């Protein structure tokens, strides 16, 4: 231990795990702890699945889940899939997109991978400083004669600027696709998420707002597109023996659909939980220098799926990465979404950069955002305790920093 730290008596040390204290939580608190639906209902559904031996291939639970999602989205077509990444690939294939695709770099890597996997050229554009979603001005600047589609990403449980993107896509006559992995239950200008654009892809991954173990769905107002998606998700089969297109296997199975149905039933309760968590977080961080809670457009329906705090390096005595180390030591597995950004991740970082790929806002957000645990896996009292950890660390920033450098923890290893 460094001499400077020896001089602090035990009583003057902040009670933090990075300073030698006990971790605040025995079990890790994750950003995306899965929400478990009512067990009795799930067991009953699984019994029915086993009794009827309908395990996959457009079974009754898949149909019921599609029907519920359709009703939640004003009657649009819904095609469930095995996960959102494959769903995005299926959609790009069904739309016959070829050439460049404009998308934000500030997204989970799957958005970019789906494009590249389908042989398209991802062109990354910057995002808006306040909403963290794709910046329509940057989209305009990124257009070329090879632009074949725009992919907007709805982030953190709020929608991206649909109206502006729609105008650009219509003007160009190209599809407007949404990665709506975070946006189940959200609205834009009063209309539900699925009504917008050419199509939207949601994720029901275990860590998502609505979860089906693994899974996703494509929502579209276009019936012909939905028919093509149904064909392609089942190997291109039309009837029992007739294959008419290059399809794949992107089907959701019945176990996943049973879980998804239970999870969807808890949607309103989970929004209420997230709102309460957010208030607890706001209260516990009040007055701390350089910390700002991400704001939502309160005119719309948001699901508040993520609890995002921005750490301003000019005002906060600890950096975002130092706070991550402090929190990890306490068993709070805060995340640095979406560091380092798609454009700085493999394989994209090795590709020739285009002029339009100057992404200062993206890079700033990658360096400063902190995602904290929320959802049903964490109580408001635990959120308050996480706030106290952050407050204690900031109030003893110099000492915390010296302990951190003695431990030589890197954020990746924390
Ligand atoms: C923004 C975003 N897009 C796409 C995905 C991929 O979804 P899935 O895991 O269902 O393939 C995720 C998360 O997993 C995501 O957060």
Instruction: Copy the structure tokens of residue 29.
Output: 């608190």
**201 lies in the same domain as 307:** no
Q: How far apart are CA 185 and CA 301, in angstroms?
A: 7
The answer to whether residue 365 is domain-embedded is no
The answer to whether residue 360 is domain-embedded is no
- Collapsing DSSP to helix, strand or coil, 223 comes out as helix
**81 lies in the same domain as 220:** yes
Which of 37, 335, 41, 372 lies closest to 209 in space, CA to CA? Answer: 37
Distance in Å, CA 64 to ligand 1 centroid: 23
Could you tell me which residues are beta bridge partners of residue 216? 81, 203
User: Whose C-alpha lies nearest to ligand 1, atom 9?
Assistant: 205
Q: What is the pLDDT of residue 410?
A: 53
Q: Is the CB of 409 under 6 A from ligand 1?
A: no
Q: How far apart are CA 382 and CA 373, in angstroms?
A: 9
Q: Where are the beta strands (DSSP E) in 28-175?
A: 29-30, 77-81, 100-104, 121-125, 147-153
Q: Is the CB of 205 under 6 A from ligand 1?
A: yes
**175 lies in the same domain as 280:** no
Distance in Å, CA 205 to ligand 1 centroid: 7
Three-state SS annotation for 240-307 = CCEECCCCCECCCCHHHHHHHHHHHHCHHHHHHHHHHHHHHHHHHHCCCCCEEECCCCCCCCCCCCCE
Chosen domain end from 216, 237, 265: 265
Residues 203-249: tens digit of each pLDDT: 999 999 899 999 999 999 999 999 999 999 999 999 999 999 999 99
Distance in Å, CA 90 to ligand 1 centroid: 14
Radius of gyration of the chain (CA): 23
Q: How far apart are CA 411 and CA 340, in angstroms?
A: 12
**57 lies in the same domain as 43:** yes
**91 lies in the same domain as 210:** yes
Instruction: Write b or e for each residue in 207-228: b if 16 or more Cβ atoms lie within 10 A of its Cβ, otherwise e.
Output: ebbbbbbbbbbbbbbbeebbeb
Q: Is the dihedral of CA 226, 78, 306, 298 positive or negative?
A: positive
Residue 139: give its domain's CATH number. Answer: 3.40.640.10
The answer to whether residue 293 is domain-embedded is yes
Q: Is the peptide bond before 338 cis (omega within 30 degrees of 0)?
A: yes
**81 lies in the same domain as 160:** yes
Q: Is the CB of 89 under 6 A from ligand 1?
A: no
Each of the 414 residues of the chain gets a pLDDT tens digit; together they read 444 444 445 566 788 999 999 999 999 999 989 999 999 999 999 999 999 999 999 999 999 999 999 999 999 999 999 999 999 999 999 999 999 999 999 999 999 999 999 999 999 999 999 999 999 999 999 999 999 999 999 999 999 999 999 999 999 999 999 999 999 999 999 999 999 999 999 999 999 989 999 999 999 999 999 999 999 999 999 999 999 999 999 999 999 999 999 999 999 999 999 999 999 999 999 999 999 999 999 999 999 999 999 999 999 999 999 999 999 999 999 999 999 999 999 999 988 766 446 899 999 999 999 999 999 999 999 999 999 999 999 999 999 999 999 876 555 544
Residues in the chain: 414
The answer to whether residue 186 is domain-embedded is yes
Q: What is the pLDDT of residue 352?
A: 79
The answer to whether residue 341 is domain-embedded is no
**163 lies in the same domain as 244:** yes
- On the CB side of 358, how many CA atoms lie within 13 Å of its CA? 2
Q: What is the pLDDT of residue 282?
A: 98
**232 lies in the same domain as 279:** no
Chain centre to alpha carbon of residue 356: 25
Q: 292 and 169 in contact (C-beta within 8 Å)?
A: no
Verdict on whether the full-model pTM lies above 0.85:
yes
Q: What is the pLDDT of residue 370?
A: 98
Supply the range of the domain harboring residue 60.
Answer: 39-265
The pair phi, psi for residue 245, each rounded to 5°, is -155, 160
Q: Is the CB of 85 under 6 A from ligand 1?
A: yes
Q: Is the CB of 218 under 6 A from ligand 1?
A: no
Q: What is the pLDDT of residue 357?
A: 64
Q: Which residues contact 163 (CB under 8 A, 6 or more apart)?
A: 188, 189
The answer to whether residue 123 is domain-embedded is yes
Instruction: Copy the structure tokens of residue 82.
Output: 């095995």
Distance in Å, CA 178 to ligand 1 centroid: 12
Q: How far apart are CA 289 and CA 311, in angstroms?
A: 9
State the burial class of residue 311 (Cβ atoms within 10 Å of its Cβ: 0-12, 13-18, 19+). Answer: buried
Chosen domain end from 265, 290, 319: 265
Q: How far apart are CA 287 and CA 268, in angstroms?
A: 31
Q: How far apart are CA 261 and CA 407, in angstroms?
A: 46
Q: Is the peptide bond before 340 cis (omega within 30 degrees of 0)?
A: yes
Which of 314, 315, 317, 308 lies closest to 339 in space, CA to CA? Answer: 308
Chosen domain end from 265, 280, 295: 265
The answer to whether residue 8 is domain-embedded is yes
**299 lies in the same domain as 276:** yes
CB atoms < 10 A from the CB of 26, how many? Answer: 7
Distance in Å, CA 274 to ligand 1 centroid: 20
Probe target for ligand 1 pocket from 32, 83, 85, with the most ligand atoms within 8 Å of CB: 85
Residue 284: give its domain's CATH number. Answer: 3.90.1150.10
CB atoms < 10 A from the CB of 10, how many? Answer: 9
**231 lies in the same domain as 151:** yes
Probe target for ligand 1 pocket from 114, 203, 212, with the most ligand atoms within 8 Å of CB: 203
Q: Which atom of ligand 1 is nearest to the CA of 114?
A: 4
**319 lies in the same domain as 384:** yes
Distance in Å, CA 52 to ligand 1 centroid: 32
The answer to whether residue 237 is domain-embedded is yes
Domain count, the chain: 2
Instruction: Copy the structure tokens of residue 57.
Output: 């291939």
Q: Is the CB of 270 under 6 A from ligand 1?
A: no
**229 lies in the same domain as 290:** no
Q: Look at strands 100-104 and 147-153 and give their pairing.
A: parallel
């Amino acid at each position: 231990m460094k001499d400077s730290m020896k001089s602090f008596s035990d009583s003057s040390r902040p009670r933090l795990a990075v300073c030698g204290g006990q971790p605040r939580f025995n079990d890790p608190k994750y950003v995306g702890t899965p929400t478990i639906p009512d067990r009795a209902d799930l067991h009953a559904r699984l019994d029915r699945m086993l009794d009827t031996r309908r395990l996959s291939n457009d079974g009754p639970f898949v149909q019921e889940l599609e029907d519920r999602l359709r009703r939640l989205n004003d009657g649009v077509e819904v095609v469930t899939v095995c996960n959102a990444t494959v769903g995005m690939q299926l959609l790009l294939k069904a739309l016959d997109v070829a050439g460049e695709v404009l998308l934000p770099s500030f997204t989970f890597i799957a958005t970019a991978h789906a494009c590249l996997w389908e042989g398209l050229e991802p062109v990354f554009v910057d995002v808006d400083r306040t909403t963290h979603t794709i910046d329509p001005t940057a989209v305009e600047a990124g257009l070329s004669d090879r632009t074949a589609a725009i992919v907007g990403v709805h982030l953190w449980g709020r929608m991206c600027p649909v109206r502006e993107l729609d105008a650009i896509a219509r003007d160009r006559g190209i599809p407007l696709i949404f990665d709506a992995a975070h946006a189940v239950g959200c609205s834009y200008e009063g209309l539900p998420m699925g009504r917008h654009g050419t199509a939207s892809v949601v994720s029901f991954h275990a860590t998502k707002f609505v979860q089906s173990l693994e899974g996703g769905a494509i929502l579209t107002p276009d019936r012909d597109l939905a028919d093509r998606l149904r064909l392609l998700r089942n190997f291109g089969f039309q009837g029992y023996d007739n294959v008419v297109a290059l399809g794949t296997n992107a089907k959701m199975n019945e176990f996943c659909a049973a879980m998804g149905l239970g999870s969807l039933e808890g949607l309103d309760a989970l929004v209420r939980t997230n709102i309460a968590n957010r208030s607890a977080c706001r209260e516990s961080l009040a007055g701390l220098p350089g910390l700002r809670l991400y704001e939502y457009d309160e005119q719309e329906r948001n699901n508040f799926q993520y609890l995002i705090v921005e750490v301003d390096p000019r005002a906060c005595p600890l950096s975002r990465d130092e706070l991550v180390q402090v929190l990890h030591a306490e068993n709070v597995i805060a995340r640095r979404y979406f560091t380092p950004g798609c454009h700085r991740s493999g394989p994209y970082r090795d590709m020739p950069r285009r002029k339009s790929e100057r992404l200062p806002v993206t890079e700033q957000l990658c360096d400063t955002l902190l995602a904290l645990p929320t959802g049903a896996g964490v109580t408001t009292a635990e959120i308050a305790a996480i706030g106290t950890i952050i407050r204690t660390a900031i109030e003893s920033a110099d000492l915390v920093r010296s302990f951190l450098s003695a431990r030589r923890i890197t954020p990746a290893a924390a």
